[in-house]
Structures are given as structure tokens and as C-alpha cells.
Structure 1
Amino acid sequence: MNDKNLNAVHWSFWINAVALLLWNVMGGINFMMQMNPEMLANYPEAARSLVEARPLWATVAFAIAVFAGAIGCLLLLLKKSVAYYVFIASLLGVLVTNIYTFGITSSTEIWVGSLMSLVVATFLIWYSKRAKRLGWIK
């Protein structure tokens, strides 16, 4: 077996990278909707209250979480190992956002969404590190 076959990117890499890019793009769309007062008016009262009361630091962390996640996925698709560090920034954004969210709500629906974000951000760090180790990204 030659080195080219050894470092061949598995087909699942592309599916994972695209699916996770879509996840993060949806997070970006959610962020943009929350920043638009007309869109926010359509949110359920409980969710709208959380967004309207959210401090600036939590809003900035949310933006970092979703946009760093999307940029990291684009870098993954470009097979750039710097994606790993961008995913770390995304995870930090998720953690800071969750500190706020978990501190102010007991809503199971909101907790589940926040925990999903934490799982995905953690997975992206692991996956990009694995892709680097396997030679899929440089």
C-alpha cells in the first residue's frame, strides 16, 4: 500500500463535514434571527424573554460559537488543520453561552438544545484532531 492510499480521505469525512457545516449554518441563521426584532417577535414568549434579557457577553459568545463552528467546518472541507483551533474557539463560545443559559432557565427544551451544541462542538474538536492524525487534513 502506498502513502497516497494510506492518507486517502474516507467518504464519511465529507458527509460529516457537510452535515456539521449545515448544523453550524443553522446556528448562524438562528443567531441572525435573534438579532432581528421582527423575527424575534415571532418567537414563543419564553424564548423571546431569554433572548431579550441576554447580556452582551452571552450574545458575543453565541456569535463566536456558531460562526467559529461554521468557519471551522469550511476549513475542514478545505482540509486545513487550523480547523481544530477554530473549533476550540467555538467550544469556548458554547460553554460561555451555556453558563448564561443554564443559569437562568429550567426549560428542558432549551437545555437539550444547549447540550446538543456542546456535544457537537466537542465532537468537532475530536473529529478534526482525528482527521489530522489520519492525514486527511494538513
Structure 2
Amino acid sequence: MTDTMKAATPWHLWVVGVVSLLWNAFGGYDFVMSVTQGETYWRASGMTQPMIDYYNAMPAWMYVPWVLGVWGAVAGSILLLLRSRFAVHAFALSVLGAIGNLAYGLMNPMPELPPAMAAMVYMPWVIVVVAAFLAWYAWTMGKKGVLS
């Protein structure tokens, strides 16, 4: 296939692209609300005071993996839908950010979660798996000539 020709777009690219954009847009929303509204947003989300204190104590450098994870994923989703090869790079940054957040959480565990939020302990793992899948998917689509 030449550089100017793209392979036909498989139906699943649109499904993965739209679902990933919806998933990652929530991450973007959560980031914006956390940065702009902070405690008000967190309380409305059902966080307890120890959880809010945990997030308030997060070091400033942790914004780097958070930004990479969230906005790399949003950009990757958009670039995937645009069939751009740069989706691979954006999703790779997202994986690095997700792994950074997971590592921080493992080294600095969050306080005990209320029963209604107990499943949230698995969310960093789910985010890493989803980010890795999206990076792999974009890479695969690039190798098949769907992205250019």
C-alpha cells in the first residue's frame, strides 16, 4: 500500500473510536472538575473527608502523569477517529500516564473507601488495561494501513 492510500476503514474502528472517546471524555471531565471545583466536586461525587485529604495532599508532580493519561487518551481517541497514525503516540503517552498513576497509588494507598465506592480500588488497574488495549489497537490499525 502506498503512503497516499489508506486501507478501508473496518467497522470496529468506529465502534472502538466512539466508545473510547466517550470513556476518555469522562476522564477529561473528571480532570477539569477536579482542577476547577476540587472539594466541591469530590464531595458531590461521594468522597469522604479522608479521600479528599488524600487528593489534596497529592504532590504537584503527579499532575504530569495525570495530564498525560487523561489528555493523551482523549487525543488518541480523536486521532483514531480521524485515522491518524499519531493516535498510537497519544495512546502510548496515555499508557505511561496511567502506569504512573497506578504506581503512585500502589506506593501511597488511598484511605479506606466507603462501601458504595469499594470497587474503585480496581479502577487504576482497569484504566491501565483499557489504555494498553487502545494503544495496541491503534498500533494494529496502523500496521494494517488503516491509519496514516
Bin for the TM-score computed over the shorter chain: 0.7 to 0.9
- 1:44 corresponds in structure 2 to 47
**Alignment gaps of 5+ in structure 1:** 1-5
- Check the 8 A contact 1:34/1:51 in 2, yes or no: no
Corresponding pairs, count: 133
In 1, the alpha carbon distance for the partners of 2:31 and 2:53 equals 15
TM-score when normalising by structure 2: 0.81
Maintained 8 Å contact 1:7/1:135: yes
Q: Which ranges of structure 2 fall in alignment gaps of 5 or more residues?
A: 1-5, 113-117
Asked if structure 2 preserves the Cα contact closer than 8 Å seen for 1:94 and 1:118, the reply is yes
Quote the offset at 1:110 in angstroms: 3.4
Q: Which residue of 2 aligns with 1:129?
A: 139
Aligned ranges 1:95-110 → 2 under 5 Å? 95-105=99-109, 109-110=119-120
Whole-Å Cα distance in 2 between the matches of residues 89 and 129 of structure 1? 13
Q: Which amino acid aligns with 1:134?
A: K
Identity of aligned residues (%): 27
With normalisation by structure 1, the TM-score equals: 0.87
Q: As a proportion of its length, which structure holds more helix?
A: 1
How far did 1:85 drift?
A: 0.9
1:70 pairs with 2:74: yes
Within 2, Cα distance between the matches of 1:59 and 1:130?
30
Pairwise CA distance, 1:56: 1.1
Deviation, 1:32, is 1.5
Report the alpha carbon displacement of residue 47 of structure 1 after superposing the two structures with TM: 3.1
Q: CA RMSD in A?
A: 1.8
